[in-house]
Amino acid sequence: MDDLSRFCCQNSECPDHGQRGAGNLTVCDHYGPNNGRRMLRCRTCKSRFSERKGTIFFGATLPEEQIASVMEHIGEGCGVRKTSRLVGVHRDTVTRYSMLAGEHAKDLHDELVAFSPRDTRGPV
């Protein structure tokens, strides 16, 4: 039995959208290299989506290990150029994945944090 408790419906119209461990998801198919990626189906809204949708790996061309390595370096405070040299990817690639991860982090923040103080420094 697949553990799907960390996934949630990606259909923003669905009443179970964003609810983890609600028991509404099933694995309906496999795809990708060695059929190693799962297609999930929501029982509530009947939509199907990749388990990678909503992650920085969705539609990514870079191997997962390299993406994870980029994130590790950025997370540890390495700059874009340093990360680019250490991981062996173009610096635009580092920027692209960092932006994606930043958007996801913001979405998560907005979902989980009840109150977020205003940043008086204005938009960056």
What is the binding site for Zn ion (CB under 5 A)? 9, 11, 14, 16, 42, 44-45
Q: What is d(CA 67, CA 89) in angstroms, rounded to the nearest whole number?
A: 10
Residue type for 45, please? C
- Name which of 42 and 74 has its Cβ closer to Zn ion: 42
User: Closest separation between CB of residue 13 and Zn ion, Å?
Assistant: 8
User: Closest separation between CB of residue 51 and Zn ion, Å?
Assistant: 14
How distant, in Å, are the alpha carbons of 25, 62, 117, 123 from that of 58? 18, 10, 31, 28
Phi and psi at 73, nearest 5°, equal -65, -45
User: Closest separation between CB of residue 26 and Zn ion, Å?
Assistant: 11
H-run or E-run covering 97: helix 91-112
- Name which of 42 and 71 has its Cβ closer to Zn ion: 42
Q: Are residues 77 and 40 in contact, defined by beta-carbon separation less than 8 angstroms?
A: no
- Name which of 26 and 66 has its Cβ closer to Zn ion: 26
User: Closest separation between CB of residue 7 and Zn ion, Å?
Assistant: 11
- Name which of 4 and 42 has its Cβ closer to Zn ion: 42
| Residue in the structure block whose two tokens are 């496999």 | 30
